[in-house]
Structure 1
Amino acid sequence: MTKNLTKSIISVLFLLLSVNFSNAEQKNNQENKKENLDRSADPYVPAELGGNGFKEIAKDLGYTTYNFTKEDLYFFGDPRAVKGGTLRHITSRFPATLRTLGQNSNYVENSTIEGLCYESLISTHPLNLDFIPVLATHWKISDDKMQFWFRINPRARFSDGMPVTADDVVATWDLLMDETILEPSSQLVYGKFDRPVAESKYIVSVKCEQLNWRNLLYFGAMSILPSHILNDLDGTDYLEEYQWKMLPGSGSYIIYDNDIVNQESFTLTRRTDYWAADDPTNKYTSNFDKIKFIVVKDNQPLEFEKFKKREQDFYTVAKARVWVEECDFEGIQNGWIQKHRIFSEKPAGTSGFAFNMRKWPFDDRRLRYAFAYLYDREKMNREMYYSEYSMMHSLWSGSVYENPNNEKVLYNPQKAVQLLRDAGYKDRNKVGWLYHEETGKVLEFDLSIGKGLAYMVTPVQQMLAEYGINMKIKFVDGTTNWKNLMERNFSVYMQSWGGLVFPNPETSLHSSLADQLNNNNISGFKSTRVDTLLDLYDVEFNQQKRVEIIREIDGIYSHAHPAAWGIARNYQRLLWWDKFGQPEYVVSRYTGDYRSIFSYWWLDPEKEARLNKAIEKGEALPVTDIDITFWPEYLKSNQ
């Protein structure tokens, strides 16, 4: 028995030793792998110029980077994600080119291709918008903030296997500045920099012509293209040779020539040799093996029918009427198709009625507020838009930039009447219009619109008329209306502007523009405090401090009330066949639409099998809450 016990003890000790040796070996392998990654640079490049050992001395050299925490990585994909499958997306047009630069490359399809197939030096954090590394591991800003340096990751590779180097950054800038690419906006943006300098294989620097925090954003966000190809091309050659084929990129997807069917489809294929595939910020993104874009030209009803026949995997519902009246068919009722309103902080833009504060009657703040109090947006939302919209109270409605203390100016005829009386409009004339008690001037003004928009303004006209204000509607074409707006020949203008993730309020709010023509300060807004804040905003490199500045600007603007706010939709209406997995937040905080599907979602084999079985047997799947409100709830708890 003693002999058997001894043998058992020896066996256990041997097992423990084996496990320990195995763990030690695994740990050594991991450390060696990490060391190899950190020591992957050209051995002839010294550490101070970006070579091996740079990471250890980067801080002493003045470089910075973003150190990701476990909490950060939650917003870079879901560990449950699996790779595989094909995602099918119908688009309404075939792009005019598959280039991501140059003439005719400004379609949304091109920007989607750019984001999936190419990479920039740095990007912005999907949660807090801080700068984060992409091709560059580190970056440095001079004390006067007029020069930047970037250290390129020695591991970075293009899809043809060539390393990404500082020369590629220079060549990309040269192409963008080449007027023969026929894209003047590129010269406008990148002309604010001197030609970059390749200080070594891995270090590139650039000088700015004027101080502005956006300089780092714009230059750092430039998608880098391969110099070993660009050096043999001028702009004209680039336009011709790469009209329908792709330059090698360093991103996670590639488009092969045989996957381009002109005017019909193009397909992106996930690269199995993507250089950063195992990085923590990329490990659970880019999950689909293929993303196929199928063209159905300008025919939304047909696109919708194809979705219902499972020829498309998801569908964005643009119209409130379709959402309410046509999205209750069998597939949705049975839970085979998920139907959701996904709320986010995607910039909603600005809508409503902008006042010309340069002249009567809206040079009087009381009249601006009176109009706003009589504009019953909530009633219009209920009766015309199926209660699908929310009320706007800010230039940056529903975003982190909105000032939470802005007054919520909603329908209140009692307040409106009091303001009108305070302004001298107490009595009506024989035909029922208010007139000023001293001047006798009737309270009336024009609103010019296109005929197709009459349904949106006629109710407002009636609301104002009930309280003695005569808003006369005039029908004009869009060109004339825009010309009148730019020349300030208007009293009130029905506006609708898109939004930016990073606000640029100077071009629409600076006092120097208020009395000039042909700019976006359409209301004639002036504020010395806002002018000061705009100057501070342009040179503030800290994102949180910029948020605070914009919130103060928003509060000042809202108090002046140069516009009667309209309605906003801080969500996307989305349908999808229930075979996908997605993170808890479903879409990115600031992108907030279907484009997040390409990066964050994945084909879930179990859900796909469950869906197929349910359809085959005619069985229902669970139907979940229609509203997904992760981001609004996050914002409330993190103000």
Structure 2
Amino acid sequence: MKTMLKLALLLAAAFLASCGGKKEAGSTTDITPEVLKFYEETKNEKGEPFFVTKTATDLPADLKWEDGSDQEEFGSPDAKKGGTYRFFLTDYPRTLRHIGPDANNEIRDYVQDSVLIKMLGRHPNTLEMIPGCAKEWARGADKKTFYFKLDPDAKFSDGEPVRADNFFFSFFYYRYPHNQATWYHDFFSKKYEQIIKYDDLTLAVVVASAKPDAIEYAGALQPTAIAFHKEMSPDYLQTYNWRFIPTTGAYEVREGGLKKGQSVTFTRIQDWWAKDKKFYRQQYNPDRVVLEVIRDPDKAIEVFKKGDLDAYRLNLPERWHKSVPDDDPMVAKGYLHKATFYNQVPRPTYGFWLNTAKPLLGNQDVREGLQHSCNWDVVIQQIFYGDYERLNLAEEGFGEFTDTSIKARTFDPVKAAESFAKAGFTQRGKDGIFADAKGQRLSFTITNSYKVLESALVVIKEEARKAGVEFNVETPENTAGWKKFNEKQHDIAFTAFNVSVEMYPRFWEMWHSVNAYTQEGKLAVDNNNFTSFNDKEMDAMIDTYDKSEDIAEMKELAWKMQRRIHDAAVFIPGFKSPWYRTGHWRWMKFPAHFDARTARDHEENWLFWIDEDERKATQEAMKSGKTFEKSVKVYDQWRQK
């Protein structure tokens, strides 16, 4: 009892210090008592205290500290700070929050994924760990305890210093029930066993198991500002919906940065704590990032070609070959540059996610028939100019953890008809669509996430009729589409998850039944199980896989689960590409090597910079007729043969 009382008093003092010891003027709530109670009462699965305080003398004496100093910088020493980078969004965000409902939106990368500095970073070429908020780290003898020395310079954009208490608070924040972030609730409950504070700048994180990549779970922890969140309450979602959360990253949304329905502006923090740090001084170079809302991609590319956007993603072959061809006058005269960068990453999961909660799609034979009704090979040749390849499964690109013997089912109307017949769909109407004895037709709605890919779905729709299937296509605005997916209201979701660069694939998020149905039998919402996949044997394999520390066992389970997903026919693989492509104006500069090995687009590592002098010179050249050397380049140093 005395130990727990001492812990509570220590944490209370630290928490109150972080909050300034008093409420903000006008504040009506104070989360402090609830946080301290959470710290005191939370236990791990072993029944031990989750939050622990010790002293520096308790640190193991034989730790081998690392600092990443052997890793090379990956940007360019020529990078210049300043200027405005102008890009676009296809929809205005519904929140600035990065967790909870509607947080999976287009600005998430700008407030979280690509810019936030976590406990550690990962070198984008070597995949080794590099300093983040922690300047040094060490692995304990048990292989699952990781020790960190925080950088005393680290601080949030509101000025609050990053200390061990901010990592304590992150566990409260991500497990707070009123943020409705079920994925985070589960992740932060199961992936970590304990967090230990030795002093303000020294802490340890104990992960749940000594998996091969355990350091990534510990290093991926991010600190959370305490004072800013002191007013958390059951109304959290509304109270914090449009409040920019203090960040450890280089950019913030300031007052006036939100123009509802029109644009979002991020401003670089001039005294950003990491601006002179080795692995960050060549990143995040523009002073301002202005994201204009342009809902029509065709309009966006015209805005780009007029010079009002600095870059445009040209991954879609039609954009590369037709919208901005190599012989386009703006390209030929050297004003617009084009680049193809070969990368090494797990591939985004473009394809059809079949919602088995819908009666027809709950039928195995119907799903197998649909697999043979989608002619992606024709789409790749006709719409994608043969530039893409067929995706075979949702877990491609994980080396030995991917079962390359699994191949996507081919378009085959005969096999489709055989499967449909097993489900009772044997009668073809005058329109050629199969129906059963009750007159129910094989008709489904594809909810499309990408307006730019509508032409591909036109081909899919036409080809499917040959197999006796009617596909109706809807393309809602981006946030509305994701809301429909999250609420499991779709028939077929055409979308892709950007898969993290990791040693092995994840299965829990998309395939565990806890993300399909609640204990009451209702659909579980706000998660990534878009197929409502509900398979108890799969659950058991996922649970074993997530706890396993043995690479051989994990590989065997990964292959078994991939085969089970394939056999269930709940995901129809679409396409993949081994590169990313971008178009940019000549005033937008890149390193000589262009980007890093694991970059998925030009914003992944923020290595580019805007040269405002070159912008002015280019604009003057366009008026006078002066031209520059044409630049259409391929960067294939990371191409896999």
What is the TM-score when the length of structure 1 is the normalising length? Answer: 0.65
Q: Give CA deviations for 1:165-206 in whole Å, capped at 9, x if unaligned.
A: 112222333333444556555434334457845332123345
Counterpart of 2:381, as a letter, is: R
Q: Does 1:448 align with 2:444?
A: yes
- Whether 2:262 is the aligned partner of 1:283: answer no
Separation in 2, partners of 1:125, 1:547: 25
Give SS of 1:596's match: coil
Q: Is the 8 A contact 2:350 2:574 kept in 1?
A: yes
Deviations 1:335-377 (A, max 9, x none): 3112345443263205258799x9999979xx96x99788653
Q: Distance in 1 between matches of 2:470 and 2:242?
A: 51
Q: Quick one: which of 287, 292, 301 aligns to 2:289?
A: 292
Of the structure 1 ranges 193-202 and 506-515, higher mean CA displacement relative to structure 2 is found in: 506-515
Q: Distance in 1 between matches of 2:180 and 2:539?
A: 35
Query: Per the alignment, do residues 301 and 211 of structure 1 end up closer, same or farther by CA in structure 2, a change over 3 Å counting?
Result: same
Structure 1: distance between partners of 2:592 and 2:553: 29
TM-fit CA distance, 1:601:
0.8
Larger radius of gyration: 1
Deviations along 1:459-490, one digit per CA (max 9) or x if unpaired, are: 443555xxxxx5576999999xx99xx99xx9
Report if the CA contact (8 A) 2:87-2:310 is conserved: yes
Distance 2:123 2:551 in 1: 11
- Distance in 1, matches of 2:323 and 2:571, equals 34
**What does residue range 343-422 of structure 1 map to in structure 2 within 5 Å?**
343-344=342-343, 345=345, 347-351=347-351, 376-397=375-396, 400=399, 403=402, 405-406=404-405
For residues 632 and 619 of structure 2, the distance between their equivalents in structure 1, rounded to whole angstroms, comes to 22
2:592 counterpart of 1:592: no
Q: Distance in 1 between matches of 2:250 and 2:116?
A: 8
Q: Does 1:69 align with 2:46?
A: no
* Cross-structure match for 2:107: 109
Letter in 2 for 1:279: K
Check whether the contact 1:175–1:234 (CA below 8 A) recurs between aligned residues.
Answer: no
Q: Does 1:309 align with 2:311?
A: no
Whether 1:581 and 2:577 are equivalent positions in the alignment is no
Summarize deviations over 1:196-221 as a string: whole Å, max 9, x none: 45332123345667887888655643
Cα contact 1:351–1:568 (8 A) shared by 2: no
| CA spacing shift, 1:495–1:610, aligned 2, 3 Å | closer
> What are the equivalent positions in structure 2 for 1:208-227 lying under 5 Å apart?
217=216, 220-227=219-226
Q: Which residue is 1:84 aligned to? A: 82
Structure number having the greater helix percentage: 1
8 Å CA contact retained: 1:448, 1:476: no
In the superposition, relative to structure 1, how do residues 375 and 203 fare at CA in structure 2: closer, same or farther (>3 Å)? same
- Inter-CA distance 376–588: structure 2 relative to 1 (3 Å threshold): same
Structure 2 distance, partners of 1:352, 1:135, is: 39
Deviation for aligned residue 1:386: 4.0
Deviation at residue 592 of structure 1 after TM alignment? 0.6
Compute the displacement of 1:267 (Å): 3.1
Distance in 1 between the 2:137 and 2:296 partners?
47
Name the SS of the counterpart of 1:292 in structure 2: strand
TM-score of the aligned structures, taking structure 2 as reference length: 0.65
Name structure 2 gaps, 5 residues minimum: 1-53, 430-436, 449-453
Contact conserved, 2:178 with 2:236, CA < 8 A, in 1?
no
| CA pair 135-83 structure 1, distance change in 2 beyond 3 A | same
CA contact (8 A) 2:303 2:309 kept: yes
Quote the Cα distance in structure 2 between the aligned partners of 1:584 and 1:391. Answer: 31
CA distance in 1, matches of 2:101, 2:65: 36
Q: Give the letter for the 2:625 counterpart.
A: G
Percent identical: 18
What pairs up with 1:233-632 in 2 under 5 angstroms? Answer: 233-235=231-233, 246=244, 248-257=246-255, 264-271=263-270, 273-288=271-286, 290-317=287-314, 321-328=318-325, 329-344=328-343, 345=345, 347-351=347-351, 376-397=375-396, 400=399, 403=402, 405-406=404-405, 446=442, 448-450=444-446, 455-461=458-464, 464=467, 496-501=495-500, 502=502, 503-506=505-508, 520=529, 534=542, 537-539=545-547, 550=558, 554=562, 565-583=573-591, 586-596=594-604, 599-604=606-611, 608=615, 611-612=618-619, 614-625=621-632, 628-631=635-638
Aligned equivalent of 2:166, options 161, 165, 168: 168
Contact kept, 8 Å, 1:335 with 1:623, in 2: the verdict is yes
Shift of 1:600: 0.9
Distance 1:377 1:128 in 2: 34
Q: Over aligned residues, Cα RMSD in angstroms?
A: 5.7
Task: Report the Cα distance in structure 2 between the residues aligned to 1:315 and 1:50, rounded to whole angstroms.
Answer: 51
The match for 1:156 is: 154
Q: Confirm or deny: 8 A CA contact 1:88 1:313 kept in the other structure.
A: yes
Letter in 1 for 2:283: T
**Secondary structure in 1 matching 2:107:** helix
Q: Report SS of the residue matched to 1:108.
A: coil
Q: Shift of the alpha carbon at 1:564?
A: 5.7
Give, in angstroms, the shift of residue 582 of structure 1: 1.8
* Distance of aligned partners of 1:629 and 1:362 in 2 relative to their CA distance in 1, 3 Å threshold: farther
